[in-house]
Structure 1
Amino acid sequence: MYLTTLTNKNIRYYLLGGGVSRLGDVLSGMAFLFLAYDLTDSTIYTTIMAIAETIPYLLFGLIGGVIADWIPRKRLLILLDSLRIPIILSVFLFHQTGLLSFSYLLIVSFVIQTIGCFFNPAHRAILPMITQAEQRASANSLYDTVSRGVTILSPVLSVWLLTYGTVYFFIVDALSYGISIVCLRKIHFTEEKNLAKKTVRTAVLSIVEFFSWVRKHTKVKYLFTVTFLVVFFNTWVWQVGLLLALTELTSNSKELYSILQGVFGAIVIITNLIIPYFIREMTLKTYLIGALLWGLGITYYGFMYSLTHFFIGVALVGIGLPLSSLARVYMLQTLVPENMHGRAFSSNAFLLYTANTVSLLLFGLLVIVTPIQWLMLGSGLMIITISLAALTISSVKQSKFRGSSPIDF
């Protein structure tokens, strides 16, 4: 199945360019934080740098999807990559000449992430345009596998680059954008011209139009709602809570946290590769089953709360998360009209980043007065409850409207 998908030259170049570009993004993301700390020796300024990497998605995430639907996507992607190369190289040049300051580094980080708000939805929207319907599940799986593989490869590459200096991360990032441009030029597909009037007013109306469309399409509405809630209850307990729990239980928390992330990444990759062999068409039910497994994993390591059981819980999350993630992408590709794909993926990203930000802020306050184990257990149980409730509703509606679509609200 994967060999058949990879015979499509467009998909090969899409995976190569996207994977290399993703590797550069991960490395530069780490480099911004490393340099911020080197320049200021302050955890507060380093935190500000981390916030600068997420705020653009809250400010420009939705408008990025509109632009991705307005402008020919291939031309837009090549233009954005071409802009990123000199911007990212300027950090290297300023550093080598002794002119680099925290303020400049903060501005560059903000600009690079802002460009990402426009690049990511356009790049994601290309995949359904270069694949046939029967290839979509395997192509999504391959792309997610490449993206996850990059997160495992990046720490190894970063250790090697650190022997030369943090600033060389930016050279690799600039090279990755160059490779991305070459790959994008090799991809060929037909795009329909968007004749819409391109003004600020029409941009706002375009966003309103998409959310009005979502309101009338219950599957997509449920998908967005459940995604926001699941990510909200997951983000803190996964990104921060797990590390803090390990700190309570062992003196080797950082090492064990890295090992757990490695185990998680390996299971996600294996799951991604296996799923298309069993599931060709993904529905809301597929998504909810993935979310249920995801919640079971968090509940398990929250309830057992010991090192051995953390590995079992993380393994369950590693099966549930990619299942729900692939189902979400597949549904957006198939249920949303092609001329709205940019807005669909940018809206999805906006919801994810909003859920992440709110989760980190709220749980960051709750942990002051609430034990970490309780927060983990409560979050896992909430994800299970949400998933089961949505599954129950979908089953009732399916039996009521038997003979229509697999899940019909």
Structure 2
Amino acid sequence: MILKELLNRNIRLLWAGQLVSQSGDAITHMATIWLMLQLTGSATMTGLVAFAGTFPALIFGLIAGVVVDRFNRRNLMLISDMVRFSLVLTIPLMFISENLSPLILAILVFLMATFSTLFNPAKDAILPQLTSRNQLFRVNTLMQSTSYFAYFAGLFGAGIILGWAGLINLFYLDAITFAFSFIMIWWMVIPKIPANPSTLPEIGLKNRSWQDLKIGLRYVWRDDRRILGIVLITALNNFFIMGPAVVGIPLVIKSAWGGGGSDFAFVESTYGIGMLLGAILVYWYAQRFGKGVWLMLGMIYDGLTFIPILVVDKLGVAPLYAMIGIIFIHSIGIPFIQVTRTTLIHSLVPNHMQGRVFAMVNLAVIGMTSLSVALTGIIAEMISPQVIFLLIGIGGALCGVAGLLYSPIRQAD
């Protein structure tokens, strides 16, 4: 049973903290995008705030990996939670004082994302310190399942809360979740691992950090073609898929049937249900075949199942229900990408390099998302958001096909 991993005290604390915190993250992700849409009514400005939430991974992602491998990962997570608590609390306070402009909102989102760029690879890289190697796949499935349920719970709850508390009060809720995550991580006791002497040259801190970064880049570029292929295909796939997923869906909701914030929250919450089902399927089946194959099949499925959004308002049912059905089917495939990719990195990469490699994957996912969301906002001013889903669905699926044709990825396990 996967739940027996919760008997590990550190896993239990991290699990509880992320269950609550990621529910809050889902709420803030939805709330900031819809708030910008309300403030400006502009697809381009909505793309800007989504860009602000992803751009830090593009500019700080690699150095964040060096920091994660260099410093205490638990302490980095604590600092990140503390800062994000303060920043998210600033949004409603400035809104109430009538000082919240679109620019200030984008800056606050940018700063929160900057510390998320540090938190995420630290969280991923710390897992091998908390459990045995042969349990990593189960623990990764557990943690991903938690994030999926949290996504559903946060957004479904937001859809209900919006009806009586209003959009701006959702940010107070997210601040509380960061505080809870901080407490859970504070209570964790992390076993120490010996430093790897090859990454600790006797040089100054600035030069040493640069040296560590070069070692990480060289490892991915030259030493393991499987990891290089995964990073490159991930980057290209996210360039196609993530902009429309983040910005395109609220634009379709608004343009196709004049939906509001509650519609957006309910549609987004459907991701959590589908991904939770997908995580169960991953747990049952993904260990029976090569994880590299499952990763690429997940990308193909991910792209193809976005295409029906082209005709979401022509399917003979209410567009809201059609969109919920499409997103449910689409989201089942996401764990086949996320769980298998994370487990492959844990299995293939030495522990002292994992912070840098996870940061590169984070750069490929979030960094390319920043370019994708900005471009989606601009393109949506020129063509229908629904047509965009046709184009990116084809592009995303072709990324998976390319990965299957590349033997180092196909044979990775």
Quote how far apart the aligned CAs of 1:326 are.
1.0
Identify which range, 11-20 or 383-392, moves more after superposition. Answer: 383-392
Q: Deviations over 1:144-165 (max 9, x none)?
A: 2221222222234434377456
Identify the residue that residue 143 of structure 1 maps to in structure 2.
143
1:15 is displaced (CA, Å) by 0.7
1:271 maps to what in 2? 278
State the 1:337 CA deviation. 1.4
What whole-Å deviation, never above 9, does each CA across 1:225-284 have from its counterpart, x for those lacking one? Answer: 111122222124434445555666545587766554344431211111232122237521
Taking only the aligned residue pairs, the percentage that are identical comes to: 23
Deviation at 1:17, TM superposition (A): 1.0
Q: Distance in 2 between matches of 1:206 and 1:353?
A: 22
* Partner in structure 2 of residue 212 of structure 1: 218
Query: Of the candidates 297, 302, 306, which is equivalent to residue 305 of structure 2?
Result: 297
Q: CA deviation at 1:108?
A: 3.9
Contact 2:141 2:279 in 1 (8 A): yes
Letter in 2 for 1:337: P
**Residue equivalent to 2:182:** 181
- Between stretches 209-218 and 101-110, larger displacement belongs to 101-110
Deviates more, 1:318-327 or 1:43-52: 43-52
Q: Give the letter aligned to residue 136 of structure 1.
A: L
Instruction: Say which SS state the counterpart of residue 333 (structure 2) adopts.
Output: helix
Aligned to 2:352: 339
**Post-superposition offset of 1:142:** 1.9
Which amino acid in the other structure matches residue 177 of structure 1? F
C-alpha distance in structure 2 between counterparts of 1:255 and 1:93, whole Å? 23
Secondary structure, in 3 states, of the residue corresponding to 2:191? coil
- Residues 146 and 107 from structure 1, CA distance in 2 versus in 1: closer, same or farther, beyond 3 angstroms? same
Which has more radius of gyration? 1
Describe the SS at the equivalent of 1:279: helix
Count of residue pairs the alignment pairs up: 398
- Structure 1 Cα separation of the partners of residues 164 and 312 of structure 2: 40
Query: Residue type matched to 1:321 in 2?
Result: I
Letter in structure 2 aligned against 1:291 = M
| Displacement of 1:73 | 0.9
Q: Which amino acid aligns with 1:387?
A: G
Change (3 A) 1:255 1:291: same
Matches within 5 A, 1:3-402: 3-30=3-30, 32=32, 43=42, 48-89=48-89, 98=97, 100-102=99-101, 107-158=107-158, 159-160=160-161, 163-164=164-165, 168-192=169-193, 194=195, 195=200, 197=203, 199-216=205-222, 217-242=224-249, 244=251, 250=257, 259-280=266-287, 283-299=291-307, 302=310, 306-307=314-315, 313-366=326-379, 375-394=388-407
Report the residue type matching 2:126 in the other structure.
Answer: I
The alpha carbon displacement at 1:209 in A equals: 1.8
Q: Which amino acid aligns with 1:152?
A: F
Instruction: Deviation per CA, 1:103-153: give whole Å up to 9, x if none.
Output: 665554433322222122111211222122232222212212221222222
2:207 partner amino acid: R
Instruction: Please tell me whether the aligned partners of residues 58 and 370 of structure 2 are also in contact (alpha carbons under 8 angstroms).
Output: no
Give the letter for the 1:25 counterpart. D
Instruction: Give, in whole Å, the separation in 1 of the partners of 2:294 and 2:111.
Output: 37
**TM-score (normalised: structure 1):** 0.81
- CA 1:198–1:178 in 2, change beyond 3 Å: closer, same or farther? farther
| Higher RCO, Cα 8 Å, sep 6+ | 2
Report the Cα distance in structure 2 between the residues aligned to 1:118 and 1:177, rounded to whole angstroms.
Answer: 15
Q: Secondary structure of the residue that 1:69 maps to in structure 2?
A: helix
Cα deviation, 1:160-182, whole Å, max 9, x if unaligned, reads 37745655444433332332222
Q: Answer whether contact 1:91 1:100 (CA < 8 A) is retained.
A: no
Moved more, 53-62 or 342-351: 53-62
Give, as a single letter, the amino acid of the residue that structure 2 aligns with 1:123. K
Range that drifts further, 377-386 or 133-142: 377-386
One-letter amino acid matched to 1:214:
V
Q: Cα offset for 1:3?
A: 2.8
